[in-house]
Amino acid sequence: MRSICLYFQVHQPFRLRTYRFFDIGADHYYFDDYQNKRIVRRIATDCYIPANEVLLGLINEFGSSFKVTFSISGTAIEQFQKYAPEVIESFKRLAKTGNVEFLAETYSHSLVALNNPAEFKRQVQEHTAAIKKLFGVTPTAFRNTELVYSNSIAGQVLEMGYKTMLTEGAKQLLGWKSPNFLYCSAPHQRLKLLLRNYQLSDDIAFRFSQRDWSEWPLTADKYVTWLNNVEPKQELVNLFMDYETFGEHQKAESGIFGFLRAFPEQLIKTGKWVFRTPSEVSEDLQPVAGIDCPHPISWADEERDLTAWLGNDLQDEAFSTLYKVSDTMANVSDPELHRDWNYLQASDHFYYMCTKWFSDAAVHNYFNPYGSPYEAFLNYMNVLSDFLIRVNEYAGNIPDADEKAASKELKAAKSETVVKKKKMVAKTAKSIVSAAAKPAKKAPPKTKRK
C-alpha cells in the first residue's frame, strides 16, 4: 500500500503590545497578555479541542491504519500552559495512543538556522526537552520553522542527530520531479527528506472554502479520487499544513471538521493507502534521489523562498540587529532575558513587516495585527532597543573580558540602530507608498484539477 503522511504545525507567537519610543528604558514588559489570552482561548475552542477530538475518534476506530504527526512550537506550549491547559491535556490523550509522532523544531519558531548554528542547536535542544517532558517521547524527526531548508541547514540538522527532515516540494528544488517520493539531501545523504505536496495540501489549507474556486465545494469523495489518481508508482503523498486550518482559517460552518473526519475514513477503506508518520516513512522507504538546495526555500507564498520574512530592508535590519546579541545571550542565565530572547525570535514578527503586495497580500493581511509593515517595524524596533539596553546592562555586570567586549559592542550597536532606524523609516515609508501606487499584479489563474 502507498503511504500518506499527515502533518500539522501548531504555533502561536507571543504578540507584542503597543510599545512606544518613550517606553524604552522605562518599561521592560513587551507582550500583550490580553490579546494573547483572547486569541489562544478562541483558537483552543474553535480549532485545537474539536480537531483533536476528531483525530482521536479516527485513531480509536481505525487503530494503526491512521496516524498523524505534529510539531508544536515552544511558544505555543507556553501559551497553552498559561491560558488553555485543556489543550495540553487533549494532546496528551493523543500521545498516549501511540499513533502520533511529535517532531523537533526550534523552540521559538525562529529563523535562527539562517544565522547562528549554536543558537539553532540550543533552541532545538530546548524544544526537544519540552516535548519529552510533556509527552514522554523524544523526537526523532525534524521540521524547521516555515519548512525553511537548504544544504547548510541539512548539515546542521544531521549533525544534531536527526536522520529525517520535512520541507517544501518547491519547484525550484524539484524541477520536473514529483514530491511524492522519499528523497535525501544530496550533500548529506544520510538525511532523508519528506517533501510537501503543496497543491494537495493547499487545496485544504487555503482553497477549501473559496467559493470562486473551480473545485468548490471540496468533498471527501472528490479529494480521495484525486489521491487515487496520483501516479501508482508514486509511493508517498505528504500533506503538511497549519493545524489552525481546522476551525480557525477554515471556519466550522464551512464543513472542514466533517471533511477532516471523512477523507481519512474513505481513504483507509479503499485499501490502497495507509497513514504513516515521517519516521515510519523514513524507515519503510528508500530515497529515490538526492536533492541539492544551495539557497534556502520555505513553504510560504508563490515564491517558496524567504521573502515573506527577509525580503525588504525593514526585515533585514530587524533580523540582523536581533542576532547581534547571540553570542552574549549564550551566556545569559537571567530567566526574564532568556524568555524575551525566545519570544522576540519568533518568525511572525518579521512576517508582519512584509511589503509584498501582490497575489499573496490577502494571506499576509489575514495574519497581520498591524496596520502596515511600517508600524510593525517601529513597534518591534522599540522593543528591541529596550531589550538591547537590558542585555547591555547584564553583560556589563559580568567581569569576564569577553563579556565586557560584548557589552561595548552592544552599546555601539544600539546607537547605530537608532540612527539607522530613522533612515530606514523614511526610506521604507517611501518604498511602501511607491509600491502601493503601482497596479496590483494579477494572481495566476487557479489550476483546475483533473
Catalytic residue positions, numbered: 146
Q: How many Cα atoms are found within 13 Å in the side-chain-facing hemisphere of 119?
A: 24
The vertex-60 CA angle with 241 and 44, nearest 5°, equals 45
CA-CA distance, 311 to 314, in Å (whole number)? 8
Contact 21, 7 (CB under 8 A): no
SS (H, E, C) the chain: CEEEEEEEEECCCCCECCCCHHHCCCCCCCECHHHHHHHHHHHHHHHHHHHHHHHHHHHHHHHHHCCEEEEECHHHHHHHHHHCHHHHHHHHHHHHCCCEEECECCCCCECHHHCCHHHHHHHHHHHHHHHHHHHCCCCCCEECHHHCECHHHHHHHHHCCCCEEEEECCHHHHCCCCCCCEEEECCCCCCEEEEECHHHHHHHHCCCCCCCCCCCCCCHHHHHHHHHCCCCCCCEEEEEEEHHHECCCECHHHCHHHHHHHHHHHHHHCCCEEECCHHHHHHHCCCCCEECCCCCECCCCCCCCCCCCCCCHHHHHHHHHHHHHHHHHCCCCCHHHHHHHHHHCECHHHHCCCCCCCCCHHHHHHHCCCCCHHHHHHHHHHHHHHHHHHHHHHHHCCCCHHHHHHHHHHHHHHHHHHHHHHHHHHHHHHHHHHHHHCCCCCCCCCCCCC
CA-CA distance, 360 to 301, in Å (whole number)? 6
Closest CA to 328 of 338, 336, 320, 318: 338
At 157, the amino acid letter reads V
Contact 316, 79 (CB under 8 A): no
Cell of 402: 569577553
